[in-house]
Every structure is written in C-alpha cells, then in structure tokens.
C-alpha cells in the first residue's frame, strides 16, 4: 500500500525523508552542548567569567549575562534539527562559519590566543562542517 493511499508507511515515510539521521545526530549534539555549557558557565569560575563573541572576550557580568545566548542558540538548534526545519541547515552552516571566524579573531586579539597562523588553521578546520552543511542543504 502506498503513502498516497493512507497505508502504514504514510506515517513514517515523510518523517524519514524530511529528517535524515544526521539531523537527529546534530540535534543530539546540540542537546549535549547545552547540558555541557550550562553547568560549566554557571559553576566553574574559570569559564563562568569569560564568554567569546566574534572572537572578543567578554568578562565578568557581561560574560555571565551573555552566556544564555549561547545556550539558546544550541537549544533552538536542537529543536530545529530534531523537527527537521529546513532553515536550520543553512543557519547552522552560517553559525559554524561565524565560530571559525571567531577563532581566527580570538587567536590574534586575545592575550590567550596563539597568533593568526594557528587561528587560520583552526578556522579552516572548523569550516569543514560548515561546508558539509551547505552541501547537505542543496
């Protein structure tokens, strides 16, 4: 019986096509990221006091107040990947490229950075999943 005739596969076939295994995997990655980030940002003093945005470090109260934005990004990503929202793939690719650029800027701008050569290598490596996401979005 076909999906068009209301057969048994009509309930699962569209879900399998709309939400491939790798989207579920990325949803799980996002959930695990939230579960890791929240306690780390709240309870570990050495990480609680620093957040990095576009490669620049925010410290103290600004870091503590901006940390929930990171949590929200990953929480929305988890929901969107799990539910198969079409917009999440290019949005996630954009976020990956943003993180890659942030590593390049941070490596040069931060006293804790390792210079632009290391930042460029990090940015190149981090960009690979972004390119894979763009390819998957086609």
Q: What is the DSSP string of 36-52?
A: HHHHHHHH-HHHHTEEE
Closest CA to 106 of 41, 65, 58: 58
Interaxial angle between packed helices 61-83 and 88-109, expressed in degrees from 0 to 180 and rounded to the nearest 10: 150
8 burial class (0-12, 13-18, 19+ CB within 10 angstroms)? Answer: exposed
Residue 85 token pair: 């929202």
Residue 79 token pair: 């929901």
**pLDDT band per the 50, 70, 90 thresholds, residue 23:** very high
Q: Which residues pair with 52 in a beta bridge?
A: 57
Mean pLDDT of 98-127: 96
Q: Is a pLDDT exceeding 70 seen at residue 14?
A: no
115 burial class (0-12, 13-18, 19+ CB within 10 angstroms)? Answer: exposed
Query: What pLDDT is attached to residue 101?
Result: 97
pTM metric for this prediction: 0.82
67-79 tens-digit pLDDT? 999 999 999 999 9
Radius of gyration (Cα) for the chain, nearest Å? 19
Residue with the two structure tokens 């709240």: 42
Look over the chain and give the mean of its residue pLDDT values, rounded to a whole number.
Answer: 88
**Least confident window among 13-17, 25-29, 124-128:** 13-17
- Complete DSSP assignment for 111-126: TT---HHHHHHHHHHH
Q: Whole-angstrom Cα distance, residue 65 to residue 58?
A: 10
**pLDDT band per the 50, 70, 90 thresholds, residue 18:** low
**pLDDT band per the 50, 70, 90 thresholds, residue 45:** confident
- Of residues 90 and 5, more confidently modeled: 90
Q: Is a pLDDT exceeding 80 seen at residue 17?
A: no
């Amino acid at each position: 019986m076909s999906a068009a005739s209301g057969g048994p596969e009509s309930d699962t076939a569209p879900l399998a096509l709309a939400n491939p295994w790798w989207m579920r995997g990325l949803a799980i990655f996002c959930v695990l990221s939230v579960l890791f980030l929240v306690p780390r940002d709240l309870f570990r003093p050495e990480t609680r006091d620093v957040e990095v945005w576009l490669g620049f470090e925010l410290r103290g109260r600004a870091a503590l107040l901006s940390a929930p934005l990171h949590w929200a990004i990953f929480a929305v990503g988890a929901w969107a990947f799990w539910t198969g929202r079409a917009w999440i793939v290019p949005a996630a690719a954009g976020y990956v490229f943003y993180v890659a650029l942030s590593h390049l800027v941070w490596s040069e701008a931060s006293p804790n950075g390792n210079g632009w050569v290391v930042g460029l290598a990090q940015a190149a490596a981090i960009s690979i999943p972004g390119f894979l996401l763009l390819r998957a979005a086609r």
